[in-house]
Structure formats: C-alpha cells, structure tokens
Amino acid sequence: MEKYISSDKVIGIVYSLLTSINIPIYVRTKPTKAADDEYIVINTLAINSDVLQSCRVNVNYHCKDLYVDDMGYVPDMANLDSNTNTIINLLKRYTGSGTHTYTIDFIGQETFSEENINEHFSNVKFKFNYINK
Amino acid sequence: MRLDVIFDPNAVLKEYTILQEAEKNGLISEMIAYAQDFMEEAVRQPEGHELGYYNNRTFQLRSSIGAYIFKDGELVWMQGSPENISLIEDAIPRGLTLVAMVGKDYASYVESYGYNVISDYGDLLLFDLTPVFRSYGSTTSQKGNILKGF
C-alpha cells in the first residue's frame, strides 16, 4: 500500500495532461468567485485500494450559451464539440511513460444543460487505472 | 465376448443438451450471487457529498436501481425496480445476459458531478467464470453472451 494513490493525486495527473488547453481548469468544483465563460472542472468518483487501483474521472467542459435574438439562449455547439474532442484526444488511451504505471481509458461522453445559468457542459468520462505495486 | 458400439445421435444430442443446461444453470447461479452483491452495495451506499455520494432526498434514484438476468431473451431473475425491464428487453441478445442499471435519466448527470450512483460498483460484476466452466465442462462457453455493466 505504500504506493497507494488518492483520487486527488489522480486529479493532479489528469490536470497536468490538460494544461496545453488554454482554458481555466478547476479541480472538484468551480470556485464561487470565478466568472469564466468557459472552463473545465475535473472530478472523480471514489478510488479503490486494490493492487489495480481504478476510478472514474469526469472532465467537464463548461461553456456559456449563445444568445440568438429570435430563439434565446442556445448551446455553443462549435465550442462544445471542438473542446470535447481536444480533451478526448489528449487523454484517451493514455499510458503513463517512464516509471508511471497508469493508463487512462475513454469511457463515454454526454452533454448536459444548466438552464439556470445559461450554460451547457460536456461530460467526458474516463477510467483511470493504476498498478499499486 | 463382443462389444458393440452403437452411435445414437439422438442420445448424444440429449446428453449435450443436458450439459448445456447444467452449464447455463451454474452460470446463472454465479451471476445471481454477483448481482446480489452489486444490489447490496448500490442500494445501501452511504449518503453525503463530502463522502462522494449523492444525497438521497427523494429515493427515486436509489429505488430505480435494478439487476436483471435474461436467458435467450427471457427474464429468469431480477432484483430491484421492475419498471426498467421495458427499457431494456428489446435490446437483449440471445444467450445469458446480466444487466445492472439505474432507471432514471439524470443518474449520469449526478455522476458527472463526482457523486457515485452505480459506476463504483460496476467492477463487482466483473467475475471469473473459470470455476463454472471447470465444473460443467465448456460445452457451450463460446455461445455464452454475458454483458457486464451498463
């Protein structure tokens, strides 16, 4: 168990792999004072303590809706699509290099509406696997 | 003394069918045990955002969790919400199929915020079938069609 990693460590690893995206990245939740039009939040479900540690990682790309005169607020499909693809391409089938013994697998993606704040977010789900030896 | 060997295709087919049934029944028993573990964990999981779980305010999400075993499209065992069956029965392939699911469409939204609904327990359904095949022979293993997870 001496090389056990926490879900916070997992978030840190995923964070470091996404820094090339020029968008604010927050861990677990968006800070209450942040007022970005687009941002990424990384969170995880619980991580187990087996030899093969694994947990689900959510990378959520949030984007303000666009206002169209005749229609009102509509999702910014172009940004949602392009940044979702960027996230997937950076993380899918990622295998840690050097002494790292972890892999990241792409599980799936969904887009959700946050009507109250005129926002949509793309939820990209990954599975993080780490050999705890 | 003379020994005659008579090949009776019907008898062989009957024996093969019995073996197939035994193997499938063994598999079903094994699947039920794992599905029950899944249900136990998923329905009785803790509550509280600080623990990484959703708050069970309305019980709708939790009461919509279910596990189902189908044999050639027919439901042979279930635990949990019967309402989910209509959502999945048209998509069930032939063979043995285990489905564990939550029947509310917002479950995925809840998990996107980092609160487990059922995904943490998906690995409980990844089980080793080797002992079952050892017990009954692997006469039909290539025909088994077991879907794990969601």
Top-confidence residue, A34 or B144: A34
Top-confidence residue, B148 or A18: A18
pLDDT band at B141 (very low <50, low <70, confident <90, very high): very low
**CB contact set of A70 (below 8 Å; sequence gap of 6+):** none
Please tell me the distance from the alpha carbon of residue B88 to that of residue B97, in angstroms, as a whole number.
Answer: 11
**Model pLDDT, residue A123:** 97
Q: Model-level pTM greater than 0.95? A: no
The token pair at A118 is 């005129």
Which residue of B113, B123, B150 to mutate against A (max A Cβ within 10 Å)? B113
Residue among A46, A58, A125 minimizing CB distance to B120: A46
Residue among A45, A48, A123 minimizing CB distance to B52: A45
A48 contacts in chain B (CB < 8 Å): 123
Residue among B112, B120, B123 minimizing CB distance to A58: B112
Cβ contact A112–B112 (<8 Å): yes
Per DSSP, B97 falls in state E
**Model pLDDT, residue A40:** 97
**Model pLDDT, residue B4:** 67
Distance from CA of B105 to the nearest CA of A (A): 11
Strand-strand pairing, A25-27 and A38-44:
parallel
The number of angstroms, rounded, from the C-alpha of B141 to the middle of its chain's C-alpha atoms is: 16
Please name which of B24, B9, B14 lies closest in space to residue B140, comparing C-alpha atoms.
Answer: B24
pLDDT band at B145 (very low <50, low <70, confident <90, very high): very low
Looking at CATH, the fold of the domain delimited by A7-131 is given as STM4215-like (3.30.2000)
Domain count for chain B, please give it: 1
When mean pLDDT is compared across A83-87, B12-16, B106-110, the lowest value belongs to: B12-16
B36-61 pLDDT, tens digit per residue, is: 999 999 888 877 777 677 777 788 88
Chain B residue closest to A45 (CA)? B114
Please tell me the distance from the alpha carbon of residue B78 to that of residue B76, in angstroms, as a whole number.
Answer: 7
pLDDT band at B24 (very low <50, low <70, confident <90, very high): confident
**CB contact set of A83 (below 8 Å; sequence gap of 6+):** A21, A23, A38, A61, A63, A122
Which residue of A40, A43, A119, A120 to mutate against B (max B Cβ within 10 Å)? A43
Please tell me the distance from the alpha carbon of residue B115 to that of residue B113, in angstroms, as a whole number.
Answer: 6
Helices (H), B44-129: 60-63, 85-88, 107-112
**Model pLDDT, residue B64:** 93
Q: Is A24 exposed, middle or buried (0-12, 13-18, 19+ CB in 10 A)?
A: middle
A92-116 pLDDT, tens digit per residue, is: 877 776 666 789 999 999 999 999 9
**Residue A22 exposure: Cα atoms within 13 Å on the Cβ side:** 0
H or E stretch at A82: helix A77-91
The yes/no answer to whether this complex scores an ipTM above 0.90 is no
DSSP lists the bridge partners of residue A95 as: A103
Please tell me the distance from the alpha carbon of residue A63 to that of residue A6, in angstroms, as a whole number.
Answer: 29
Listed by start position, the domains of chain A span 7-131
Answer whether residue B3 is part of any domain: no
The number of angstroms, rounded, from the C-alpha of B90 to the middle of its chain's C-alpha atoms is: 16
The token pair at A77 is 């499909």
List the domain range (segments joined by +) for residue B127: 9-143
Q: What is the pLDDT along chain A (133 residues), one digit of tens a residue?
A: 458 889 999 999 999 999 999 999 999 999 988 889 999 999 999 898 888 899 999 999 999 999 999 999 999 999 999 999 999 999 987 777 666 678 999 999 999 999 999 999 999 999 999 987 7
Please tell me the distance from the alpha carbon of residue A92 to that of residue A104, in angstroms, as a whole number.
Answer: 6
